[in-house]
């Protein structure tokens, strides 16, 4: 967990409809480059119903501070308070707020990446694919003239098509195929069992909004993931390359890794993430 310092700004309010609409902003100790610091927006996981911007999920992205990136950690409304698309509305509002306040915090609004794991990986992917989609953005939350797009996406073990989750789990033999139940995280997010609301499932699927100009993606997933099967990332990578051209998506399958863990936070894997960010954000 990152501790406070002179370059730490905690609980910055990016919207006013929920107590959850806060972000923390961490700046490198080095002077900003011309144009400002490139920015990583971190979106926590927790099945859309728990988690916090300061929990241990921040350990990996915080290591990018030493490489000159600013880091914004975002809280958003959880499914117990509001159903989808409130979560992506909040994340996009946070990005607009950051761009609107870029000069004050010496951020470069032209160089922004979204990074998240699990539910945060799903929302990061939606930020990347859902550019210009009116139903995925609530401009009344603030800074309506600012953009909410990003220039790169890092998605760790995020789900895509909720209706495929149990199918994929049966294929891998990992975990329990229970995502269609009324109390599953996906059903709670959408407000009904996912099998009863296929159109809502489609709207929540990052694949539904893919465009040829989507940003580069780095998708990483463990082959023994027992909660979000790795086929989600395989399928999304294939679809991105189909729509946006070969090489727009990079896929890393971590052999034997489960839903997060040390394999993702290893120095070797974080070097892959750092190289991807350096290539696309500078």
Q: What would the pLDDT profile of 180-231 be if each residue is shown by its tens digit?
A: 999 999 999 999 999 999 999 999 999 999 999 999 999 999 999 999 999 9
Contact 92, 150 (CB under 8 A): no
pLDDT of residue 6: 52
Report the share of the chain in percent with pLDDT over 90: 97
Tokens 């109390």: give the residue: 183
- Coil, strand or helix: which one is 218? strand
pLDDT of residue 51: 97
Average pLDDT over residues 268-273: 98
**Residue 103, pLDDT above cutoff 90:** yes
CA-to-CA distance for 268 and 174, rounded, in angstroms? 26
**Residue 1, pLDDT above cutoff 60:** no
How confident is residue 282, by pLDDT bands cut at 50, 70 and 90?
confident
Residue 229 exposure: Cα atoms within 13 Å on the Cβ side:
21
Contact 130, 116 (CB under 8 A): no
- Coil, strand or helix: which one is 167? helix
Fold of 8-281: Rossmann fold (3.40.50)
pLDDT of residue 40: 98
Of the listed ranges 7-11, 116-120, 138-142, the least confidently predicted one is: 7-11
pLDDT of residue 7: 85
pTM of the model as a whole: 0.96
CA-to-CA distance for 254 and 221, rounded, in angstroms? 6
- At 55-76, the pLDDT tens digits run 999 999 999 999 999 999 999 9
């Amino acid at each position: 967990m990152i501790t406070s310092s002179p370059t730490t700004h905690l609980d910055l309010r990016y919207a006013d409809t929920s107590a959850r609409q806060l972000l923390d902003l961490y700046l490198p100790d080095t002077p900003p480059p011309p144009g400002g610091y490139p920015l990583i927006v971190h979106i926590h996981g927790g099945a859309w119903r728990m988690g916090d911007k300061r929990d241990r999920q921040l350990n990996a992205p915080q290591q990018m501070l030493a490489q000159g990136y600013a880091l914004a950690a975002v809280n958003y409304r959880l499914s117990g308070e509001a159903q989808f698309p409130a979560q992506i509305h909040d994340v996009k509002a946070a990005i607009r707020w950051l761009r609107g306040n870029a000069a004050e915090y010496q951020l470069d609004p032209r160089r922004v990446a979204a990074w998240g794991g699990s539910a945060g990986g799903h929302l990061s992917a939606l930020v990347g694919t859902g550019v210009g989609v009116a139903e995925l953005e609530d401009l009344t939350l603030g800074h309506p003239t600012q953009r909410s797009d990003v220039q790169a996406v890092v998605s760790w073990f995020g789900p895509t098509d909720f209706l495929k989750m149990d199918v994929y789990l049966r294929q891998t033999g990992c975990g329990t195929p229970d995502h269609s139940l009324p109390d599953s995280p996906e059903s709670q997010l959408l407000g009904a069992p996912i099998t009863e609301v296929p159109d809502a499932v489609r709207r929540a699927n990052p694949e539904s909004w893919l465009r040829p100009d989507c940003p580069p993606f780095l998708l990483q997933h463990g082959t023994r993931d027992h909660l979000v099967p790795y086929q989600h990332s395989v399928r999304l990578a294939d679809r991105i390359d189909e729509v946006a051209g070969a090489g727009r998506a990079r896929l890393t399958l971590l052999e034997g890794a489960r839903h997060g863990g040390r394999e993702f936070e290893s120095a070797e894997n974080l070097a892959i993430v750092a190289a991807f960010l350096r290539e696309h954000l500078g």
